[in-house]
Amino acid sequence: MKLIPLASAAALAAVLGNTPLPAHAQVAGTTTIGVASAEIKAVAVGWSARKQILGHDVYNEDNEKVGKVDDLIVTPDNAVSFAIVGVGGFVGVRRHHVAIPVSLFTPRSGDFLLPGATKAAIKSLPAFEYQE
């Protein structure tokens, strides 16, 4: 099988009517993919949702476990505004999920403090349901 040089392949495609779609070049300073150098420090000291938040337990000030962080909600303005906390969920019993503002949480040694929370209080909140 003989290989056709790329320039010849493009010319051949144009002649046969299969003109390839034009490529759009990126212009320096107009496209930002990844992290700008000014943001690197914020990324370095930020939190990893997968490693430091999701799946971690939530306790009240009496050190009673009241739930677990199951999800985070990023609002349209790109802010992480709510944590979805799940409580319950034994075999045959559905887990109750509620949205709680992240401003109410205090991080502590691998888990989170939610002052004033109890399992009963969380279960009494309206259930959070995902919209398709």
What does the DSSP 8-state code read for residue 93?
A: S
Strand order in the sheet with 57-59: 96-101, 80-87, 65-74, 57-59, 111-113, 106-108
Residue 70's pLDDT is 95
Spatial distance between the Cα atoms of 130 and 2, rounded to a whole number of angstroms = 55
Could you tell me the sign of the dihedral formed by the alpha carbons of 65, 70, 73, 78, in that order? positive
Q: What domains does the chain contain, in order, with CATH numbers?
A: 47-124 (2.30.30.240)
- pLDDT tens across 44-95, in order? 777 788 889 999 999 999 999 999 999 999 988 888 889 999 998 776 578 8
pTM as predicted? 0.67
Spatial distance between the Cα atoms of 127 and 130, rounded to a whole number of angstroms = 10
Residue 20's pLDDT is 46
Least confident of 26-35, 49-58, 86-95, 108-117: 26-35
